């Protein structure tokens, strides 16, 4: 027989179990939040370090190209002219072969993009690298004249989804984001994508999804932070492995001095080659 006192004791035990479970869940969530904050702070510091290094490498690359590019080009041209003058003087087939090879070596300095294998171009981070870090599409729209289908679909979408038709700020934002996608598809002349956008608009906004539990949100955030760190690590590795970064490591405290030292050596070589060419032409 269960007495009221027994029932009361049982209820107290159940309440204690529920309170203990809630307390454990709360402690677990708190630990997750601390882990997320720590990961966020670490990622921020890592991004700062990568961006700082990227700027230094990019600046060094541009100065290297500006200051040393003309000197390297002049040296290659002089080597080719010396070889050609020597071949003209001797008429030897071997000298002519060397002259032809020397002339073939005369070429412009490699582009910034080539030096960094596509991670960096003359305007900074390349589209592919920036897209990887920002999770945007890497495809840049070609400038084409849209076809008739694309023009019709574009006009229909603009009439239906234009932000000026919105009645609330939230609706205006939704329409504005959608029209931006429409404009991008139209700039590419992509009628198929425009048809898909029209179907999407006519289907209406997606129903709101129930918000996940706090623990699930935190786990998802940790996973995103880990992926972001992987991308940054890949970008940093590409910069570290570049030829320009290798030069920069030779004089981390005075990179400008290194450039001037290399330039001085190239000027000395140019002076020697010019004297050699003058002697050949005079003889």
Query: Residue 238: inside a domain, yes or no?
Result: yes
Q: What is d(CA 278, CA 283) in angstroms, rounded to the nearest whole number?
A: 8
Asked whether residue 100 carries a pLDDT value surpassing 70, the answer given is: yes
Report the number of distinct structural domains present in the chain. Answer: 1
Q: Which long-range contacts (CB under 8 A, 24 or more apart) does 216-220 make?
A: 218/29, 218/32, 218/33, 218/35, 218/36, 219/32
Q: Which is higher by pLDDT, 182 or 123?
A: 182
Query: Residue 172: inside a domain, yes or no?
Result: no
Domain range for 137 is 33-142+215-282
Query: Residue 59: inside a domain, yes or no?
Result: yes
Asked whether residue 24 carries a pLDDT value surpassing 80, the answer given is: no
Q: What is d(CA 90, CA 199) in angstroms, rounded to the nearest whole number?
A: 77
Q: What is d(CA 185, CA 218) in angstroms, rounded to the nearest whole number?
A: 35
C-alpha 32: how far from chain center: 30
3-state secondary structure of 124: strand
Cβ atoms 247, 62 nearer than 8 A: no
Q: What is the mean pLDDT of residues 203-208?
A: 79
Query: Residue 193: inside a domain, yes or no?
Result: no
The pLDDT value given to residue 123 = 46
Query: Residue 56: inside a domain, yes or no?
Result: yes
Residues in the chain: 283
The pLDDT value given to residue 266 = 94
Query: Residue 229: inside a domain, yes or no?
Result: yes
Tally of CA atoms within 13 A in the half-sphere of 245 that contains its CB? 18
Asked whether residue 237 carries a pLDDT value surpassing 60, the answer given is: yes
Query: Residue 191: inside a domain, yes or no?
Result: no
Determine if the pTM surpasses 0.85.
no
**Mean pLDDT over the full length of the chain:** 80
Q: What is d(CA 146, CA 154) in angstroms, rounded to the nearest whole number?
A: 10
Q: If pLDDT is split at 50, 70 and 90, which confidence band does 204 have?
A: confident
Query: Residue 256: inside a domain, yes or no?
Result: yes
The pLDDT value given to residue 132 = 46
């Amino acid at each position: 027989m269960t007495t009221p006192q027994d029932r009361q004791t049982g209820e107290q035990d159940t309440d204690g179990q529920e309170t203990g479970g809630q307390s454990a869940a709360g402690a677990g969530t708190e630990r997750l939040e601390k882990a997320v904050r720590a990961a966020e702070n670490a990622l921020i510091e890592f991004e700062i370090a990568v961006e700082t290094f990227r700027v230094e490498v990019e600046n060094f690359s541009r100065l290297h190209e500006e200051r040393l590019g003309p000197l390297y080009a002049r040296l290659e041209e002089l080597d080719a002219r010396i070889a050609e003058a020597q071949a003209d003087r001797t008429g030897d087939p071997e000298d002519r072969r060397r002259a032809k090879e020397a002339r073939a070596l005369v070429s412009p300095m490699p582009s910034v993009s080539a030096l960094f294998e596509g991670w960096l171009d003359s305007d900074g981070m390349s589209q592919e690298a920036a897209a990887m870090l920002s999770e945007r599409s890497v495809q840049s729209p070609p400038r084409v004249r849209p076809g008739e289908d694309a023009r019709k679909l574009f006009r229909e979408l603009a009439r239906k989804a234009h932000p000026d038709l919105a009645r609330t700020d939230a609706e205006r934002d939704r329409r504005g984001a959608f029209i931006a996608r429409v404009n991008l598809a139209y700039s590419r002349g992509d009628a198929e994508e425009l048809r898909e956008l029209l179907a999407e608009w006519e289907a209406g906004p997606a129903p709101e999804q129930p918000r996940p539990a706090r623990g699930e949100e935190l786990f998802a955030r940790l996973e995103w932070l880990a992926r972001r760190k992987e991308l940054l690590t890949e970008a940093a590795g590409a910069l570290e492995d570049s030829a320009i970064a290798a030069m920069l490591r030779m004089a981390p405290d005075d990179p400008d001095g290194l450039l001037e030292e290399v330039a001085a050596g190239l000027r000395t070589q140019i002076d020697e080659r010019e004297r050699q060419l003058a002697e050949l032409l005079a003889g």
